[in-house]
Chains A and B, each alone.
Chain A
Amino acid sequence: MGNMETVLFYGFAATALAGAAGVLLSRNIVRTAVWLLATLAAAGGFYFLLGASFVGAVQLIIYAGGTLVLIIFGVMLTARDPRVSFEPRRIEIAAGALVCLVLAGALVWVFLGTRWYQSPIAQRDGQGIARLTSAQIEALAPGVKDRLTDLDAEGTANIGRQLLSTYLVPFEVVSLLLLAVLIGAAYLARPRVPASPKIGSGAGPKEGRA
């Protein structure tokens, strides 16, 4: 029957695909958010399966516990009547389905048809140890070779080290970006005079600059 990895993969895959289908087909926006939760949790499970435990935990904290809550807050702040759904037209659904089926087919065809480069570091045996001969180590690219000693320690420490050495500039830029996002979101979502139901009215300096 295969080992537990197979069972877990297919279980998470079923959950993720069910979530995606629910997101597509659901009429109620709150239910869409709940189906997204299923997909996010399944994606977290995939990250744990792929050996990226820290990324999986970060996914649970930030995505499922932060972004999804933000989305649900947004739903509740903008809901007039939660039972009213905005129905797309049939031609839109047909066009969307066609485009996405073609895209999925093309992507799957490309993925299955490509011979991906598999570095010898990625070949693990039953205990997860990669056995490299010295000839293979010599054949590695120089950027990879001097990071080999890092891989022996515990994973999160290595992620931290990479964030502060190889990925230092993106790390600092992301922190500045988060500051910009904080200020921008707070400004954009500032309290204003409530809108009247007529479209096209209420423009101009009457909107309170809080």
Chain B
Amino acid sequence: MSELMRIGLNHYLVLGAVLFSAGLCTMMIKRNAIGILVGVELVLNSACINLLAFSRYCTGLLDGQVVAIFVIVLAAAEAAVALAIFLSFYHRFATVDVDRGDKLRG
């Protein structure tokens, strides 16, 4: 019990693993394209939590924080491009259901 009370590296790692799996499950299950993007954001957040936990508990340096900043910036950029692609998809197929994009045409 006291091991659960004293927050250490393992707590953050387990949390990161669970959030990662949840994000992956979202990416696999959702048919709405935006839902898939939401799953991607969950995965990236779990990766950031892991990075910062290692930075705090293992090395004590700032590398994890700098890389986490890069991850956040790149996630925002990737969300922008992904949404632009989804808008093109919507203009082409009139729906965001990704199961409709199953013909290699157009």
Contacts and interface: CB of A to CB of B under 8 A. Distances in A.
B13 A111 contact: yes
B20 to A, nearest CB: 7
Interface residues of B, number: 83
A62 B73 contact: yes
| Most chain A beta-carbon neighbours within 10 Å: one of B15, B30, B37, B65 | B65
* Contact-residue bracket for chain A: 35 or more
Main secondary structure of the interface of A (DSSP, over half): helix
A29 B35 contact: yes
A36 B38 contact: yes
A181 B81 contact: yes
A74 B34 contact: yes
A6 B5 contact: yes
A93 interface: yes
Contact of A63 (B39, B76, B84, B94): B76
A50 B14 contact: no
Contact of B10 (A23, A54, A111, A189): A111
Contacts, number: 268
Contacts of B91: 192, 194-195, 207
Given A39-B45, A192-B91, A52 B68 contact: yes
Contacts of A126: none
Given A16-B19, A194-B91, A118 B58 contact: yes
Contact of B87 (A55, A87, A166, A189): A189
Given A50-B52, A100-B24, A188-B81, A86 B97 contact: yes
A9 B55 CA distance: 17
A122 interface: yes
A137 interface: no
Interface string B1-35: 00001110111111101111111111011111111
Contacts of B23: 20
B6 A6 contact: yes
A26 to B, nearest CB: 9
17 contacts: A6-B6, A23-B39, A36-B42, A67-B76, A71-B38, A71-B41, A78-B90, A88-B31, A112-B13, A118-B57, A119-B60, A158-B62, A181-B80, A184-B81, A185-B81, A188-B81, A189-B88
Lowest 4 CB-CB distances: which A-B pairs, in order? A121-B60, A86-B31, A188-B84, A122-B60
